[in-house]
Amino acid sequence: MPVTIAPIPSSLPILPLYNKKVLLPSVVSRVVLRNKDSIFLLRKLQRTFDPKTPTIVGCVPVIRKDDSSSQTGADNNDRAITNGSAAGDDDDATQAEPTTAPQVPLHTHQRRPVRGKRPDDPVDSKASETLTVGEDLFKFGCAARIVRIERIGFGGFAIFVEGLSRFRIDHIVQETPYLVASITSYPEPLESTFPNDSELTEQVLRFRALAREFLNKLKELQLPDALIAQLQRLVEQAPPSTLANLLVTVIDVSFDERLSMLETAELRRRLEKTCDWMTRQLHLLQISQQVHSTIEDKLSKKQREFYLRQQARLNNILTITNPSINWHSLNAIKEELGEKDSDDSVSNSSEEDEITDLAKRLTDASLPEEVATAAQRELKRLKRLHPSTAEWSVVRTYLETVAELPWNKSSEDVLDIKKAREQLDADHYGLETVKKRILEYLSVIKVKGDLKAPIICFVGPPGVGKTSLGKSIATALSRRFHRISLGGVRDEADIRGHRRTYVGALPGLVIHGLKKSGVNNPVFLLDEIDKTASSSHYGDPTAALLEVLDPEQNYTFTDHYLNLPFDLSRVVFIATANTLETIPPALLDRMEVIPLPGYTFEEKLHIARNHLIPKQVEQHGLKEGDVVMGDDVVLRIAEGYTRESGVRGLERAIAAVVRAKCVEVAELREQSREAEYRSEVKLEELEEILGIEKFDDEIAQRESVPGIVTGLAYTASGSGGILFIEASQMPGKGNLQLTGKLGEVIKESAQIALSWVKAHAYSLRLTASQNANLLENVDIHVHVPSGAVPKDGPSAGVTIVTALVSLLSDRRVPPTTAMTGEITLRGNVLPVGGIKEKVIAAHRAGIRRIIVPFRNKKDVTGDVPAAVRNQIEFVYAKTVADVLEEAFGLEKGKERRGEGVVVIESRL
């Protein structure tokens, strides 16, 4: 039984072969496709194409009536295809070989007129051949495996197909959008010997001998040694069926003869035909050599044509195994012969048009001198490459990138400070300090006349408006805005691009942003600059940003992909970050940090009333007034359901309330009871809509207890809160135990606090003598509630000291008093951060008296909103003695001159 390379399905999609192309089994051929139906088929196959999984199509030659003399039927509608239809083979034309594949007529319902190209087809009109009703498909074809698919020109494809086996078309099963035919396959015999058929064995030996003689003649043409060696192996080792198919592609045979070879399924007949054609070719070669030897330098036109045709055909067979062949020499031979394939002509014409268009774009781009020189060098290189090579696509993509970059294209600056102030006020409520600094930044740009102002870095918790502030700056400058997300970037090449030596190389994020924005002076927002991976074996992307953000260096920024300098000095860079801890110092030094604190509840109330609620009502298809939320409802949502610095969670909660009202509207409409709809949202409805409150109100304890003091905290999310420091004593040996998932810094603060209390125990009237051990038989346990929440930082120092003194002296701190500050062993109180957030949280919790470090007074007066500041009494302490005096309400003691230490006279 004969075997085949791959199983052939009983039905195949048909790929028509135009321009007298014939594909035979075991032959690899390049086919250029520009017909609409074929391209539709290829696009469908490309989505699932995998070189490891055979993708099989049927390649069928297209025959015009005046191109073939093999038509023996009476008319065009019922044409019988007979064996041996090739012109010049009378024996085949008059009698059918019994072993040849059986012949069936092509009935009317199987014939399909090929539609012409419409004007709106996405296929190049010059590259798509207009077909008429007089054209038809040959009855036989070759099942082929798609080896490779390439895009060429504008909308075209080129594919490499490998013939597998012959087949006969039985009938058409699908006509649109492409042909699908039911077939009968004739597998290729792959045996090299036939021990059971002596006659066939003898015929194969004669065939190989003739092939060797033909090969010896080819050697005299001084062909490449590699080609001769390959043909030698084929002659000696290839099965006779495979060798016959390959030789037919080398021998100068007509289109009808190739069709005859395609429709002949029986091996004997194919060997006979191939031997006849080789004999004819050998005779022509002998004549050519005789003429060449007598008149060496006077080749006739016919002989030169024959010689060039042989060179072209042998070059074609070489491309099957050696894709690096010189394509331009092959095209030159075909041009001299005047028989260059129309597919190749269409392809080359399209590619030449593309190169011409690319050269025009490079000229119109007004490139700098250095860039123009490099671009022209690459363009000349592109013209020397063949479009089927991978390097051609790489060079073309590079030149397209160079042509699309805005080397000298800028947008006009229209900077109006008044308009900028109005824009910031319209886009953002509150943030007065931030707005003031942005206006100063814009004013410097306007007065100075250039853009070498400091690079701004907005730092703050999520959802406070860092990204939208960048957009507002771009709007105020009348510049185009582009956002570069740096979160998770871990490769230096993401910033500086990949070198073109890598497969799939692309420019970096900076050059890509310039290409997308289309101007060389946009506003770039480097979002989440603190999320870049600073330690990676792919390189450090933060180091690559150093050149980008340095005005003294970025005018010659060189991307690895371009390998050409690009001036970034006109780009306005704005960075955003949630924290400064992960930003390298060298990078941080190039930016001016502007902190963005979280919103107060009054600011959130204003934002929700003027922006969030109208936005959600509109997005959910309701009208203005269909949903009414009072200030008490919005405040309850902000306090009980969304404890955050920004307003994203608040917006999601408001959206949930609006959706609930949408459900109510829809149900009442279905019941025709729209008049009963109530637009106002009550406080009692929130629990039904949003569930139980996620956060309890942080209310200061009503009853004060010795050893418990209220402190202030700053959370990692950027919001503030209050916490309680609890101290307890028990019999022991003077040990200090700390609980509450505390960090190293807060543990050290507790040790400092205890040491200070022990050192000043006698002054505080906690011991009877200066040498007495305060904790001789006592252990101290300090606990910070919410034990699952990590806590760290030095700002709880004064709170721990007060809690220890309160415990050991049995004095109580008023529940409405809170405090914050770092302490030293000398008893000084140092400033801390997050004052605004801490004060707002204390106000929310009912605190009306706050002790803060003296050096934080400027933060209270400058950052804390007046509405909050007017309702709280602030006490500023320089020493721990000041804190204890204000906490316990003691009478002021006398100060020792020069020491600045308060001596507390009152007994505790």
Q: What is the mean pLDDT of residues 198-219?
A: 86
- Report pLDDT digits (tens) over 369-405: 999 999 999 998 888 888 878 888 889 899 999 999 9
Contacts of residue 304, Cβ cutoff 8 Å, sequence gap at least 6: none
Report the pLDDT value the prediction gives residue 720, as an integer from 0 to 100: 76
Q: Are 741 and 788 in contact (CB under 8 A)?
A: yes
Residue 448 is among the residues annotated as catalytic for this protein: no
Report the pLDDT value the prediction gives residue 544, as an integer from 0 to 100: 84
Neighbouring CB atoms inside 10 A of 905's CB total 12
The counts of H helices and E strands in the chain are 30, 29
In angstroms, the first-to-last Cα distance of the chain is 111
Instruction: Say whether 733 sits in a helix, a strand or coil.
Output: coil
CB neighbour class for 720 (10 Å; exposed up to 12, middle 13-18, buried from 19): buried
Q: What is the mean pLDDT of residues 551-569?
A: 87
Q: Which of 5-9, 341-345, 610-614 has the lowest mean pLDDT?
A: 341-345
Q: Between these two residues, 876 and 328, which has the higher pLDDT value?
A: 876
| pLDDT greater than 70 at residue 114 | no
CATH class of 417-595: alpha beta
- Report pLDDT digits (tens) over 445-469: 788 776 566 788 998 888 888 888 8
Torsion sign (Cα): 888, 891, 892, 893: negative
Q: What is the mean pLDDT of residues 162-172?
A: 91
Q: What is the mean pLDDT of residues 889-907?
A: 40
For the chain, what percent of residues have pLDDT higher than 70?
A: 80
Q: What is the mean pLDDT of residues 303-328?
A: 53
Report the pLDDT value the prediction gives residue 300, as an integer from 0 to 100: 54
Q: Which of 232-236, 319-323, 390-394, 807-811 has the lowest mean pLDDT?
A: 319-323
CB neighbour class for 238 (10 Å; exposed up to 12, middle 13-18, buried from 19): buried
| pLDDT greater than 60 at residue 578 | yes
Report the pLDDT value the prediction gives residue 905, as an integer from 0 to 100: 40
Q: Between these two residues, 122 and 498, which has the higher pLDDT value?
A: 498
HEC-encoded secondary structure of 391-457: HHHHHHHHHHHHHHCCCCCCCCCCCCHHHHHHHHHHHCCCCHHHHHHHHHHHHHHHHHCCCCCCEEE
Q: Which of 11-20, 800-809, 836-845, 883-892 has the lowest mean pLDDT?
A: 883-892
Strand partners, 574: 456, 525
For the chain, what percent of residues have pLDDT higher than 90?
A: 23
| pLDDT greater than 60 at residue 346 | no
- Report pLDDT digits (tens) over 21-31: 999 998 999 98
Q: What is the CATH number of domain 11-186?
A: 2.30.130.40
- Report pLDDT digits (tens) over 618-653: 998 888 888 999 888 998 898 888 877 788 899 999
pTM higher than 0.75 for the full model? no
Report the pLDDT value the prediction gives residue 305, as an integer from 0 to 100: 61
Most confident of the following: 26-35, 216-225, 804-813: 804-813
| pLDDT greater than 90 at residue 166 | yes
Report the pLDDT value the prediction gives residue 57, as an integer from 0 to 100: 92
| pLDDT greater than 60 at residue 81 | no
Q: Are 784 and 791 in contact (CB under 8 A)?
A: yes
- Report pLDDT digits (tens) over 284-313: 887 776 666 655 554 455 556 666 666 655
Report the pLDDT value the prediction gives residue 413, as an integer from 0 to 100: 75
Q: Between these two residues, 49 and 568, which has the higher pLDDT value?
A: 568
According to DSSP, residue 295 is labeled: S
- Secondary element (H or E) of residue 728: strand 720-731
Q: 712 phi and psi, to 5 degrees? A: -120, 145
Instruction: Count Cα atoms within 13 angstroms, Cβ side, for 441.
Output: 28
Report the pLDDT value the prediction gives residue 423, as an integer from 0 to 100: 84
Q: What is the mean pLDDT of residues 51-73?
A: 68
CATH class of 198-325: mainly alpha
Q: Between these two residues, 895 and 439, which has the higher pLDDT value?
A: 439
Report the pLDDT value the prediction gives residue 570, as an integer from 0 to 100: 85
Q: What is the mean pLDDT of residues 6-31?
A: 88
Q: Crossing angle, helix 255-263 and helix 267-294, to 10 degrees?
A: 150
* DSSP string of 322-382, one letter each residue: -TTS-HHHHHHHHHHHT---HHHHHHHHHHHHHHHHHHHHHHHTT--HHHHHHHHHHHHHH
Same topology, domains 11-186 and 417-595? Answer is no
Contacts of residue 843, Cβ cutoff 8 Å, sequence gap at least 6: 868, 871, 872
| pLDDT greater than 90 at residue 219 | no
- pLDDT confidence tier of residue 69, bands split at 50, 70 and 90: very low
Report the pLDDT value the prediction gives residue 260, as an integer from 0 to 100: 92
Sorted by where each begins, the domain ranges of the chain are: 11-186, 198-325, 343-404, 417-595, 601-690, 708-903
Report the pLDDT value the prediction gives residue 444, as an integer from 0 to 100: 82
Q: What are the angstrom distances between the C-alpha of 697 and each of 26, 55, 686, 721, 841?
A: 82, 67, 16, 11, 10
Residue 795 is among the residues annotated as catalytic for this protein: yes
Q: Between these two residues, 477 and 655, which has the higher pLDDT value?
A: 655
Q: Which of 16-20, 232-236, 319-323, 341-345 has the lowest mean pLDDT?
A: 319-323
| pLDDT greater than 60 at residue 345 | no
Contacts of residue 210, Cβ cutoff 8 Å, sequence gap at least 6: 275, 278, 279, 282
Q: What is the mean pLDDT of residues 201-221?
A: 85
Q: Which of 149-153, 303-307, 884-888 has the lowest mean pLDDT?
A: 303-307
C-alpha angle with apex 452: 451 to 454, nearest 5 degrees? 110
Report the pLDDT value the prediction gives residue 161, as an integer from 0 to 100: 92
- Secondary element (H or E) of residue 147: strand 140-152
Report the pLDDT value the prediction gives residue 295, as an integer from 0 to 100: 53
Q: Are 128 and 213 in contact (CB under 8 A)?
A: no
Which stretches does DSSP call E strand in 824-864? 829-830, 849-853
- The residue from 260, 645, 795, 806 that is catalytic is 795
Q: 720 phi and psi, to 5 degrees? A: -105, 175
Q: What is the CATH number of domain 601-690?
A: 1.10.8.60
Short-list 701, 726, 683, 643, CA closest to 845: 701
| pLDDT greater than 50 at residue 894 | no
| pLDDT greater than 50 at residue 320 | no
Q: Crossing angle, helix 390-404 and helix 369-384, to 10 degrees?
A: 150
Instruction: Say whether 137 sits in a helix, a strand or coil.
Output: strand
Fold of 708-903: Ribosomal Protein S5; domain 2 (3.30.230)
Q: Which of 5-14, 340-349, 633-642 has the lowest mean pLDDT?
A: 340-349
| pLDDT greater than 80 at residue 506 | yes
Q: Average pLDDT of the chain? A: 79
Q: How far apart are CA 820 and CA 830, in angstroms?
A: 10
HEC-encoded secondary structure of 266-277: CHHHHHHHHHHH
Q: Which of 92-96, 212-216, 479-483, 727-731 has the lowest mean pLDDT?
A: 92-96
| pLDDT greater than 80 at residue 272 | yes
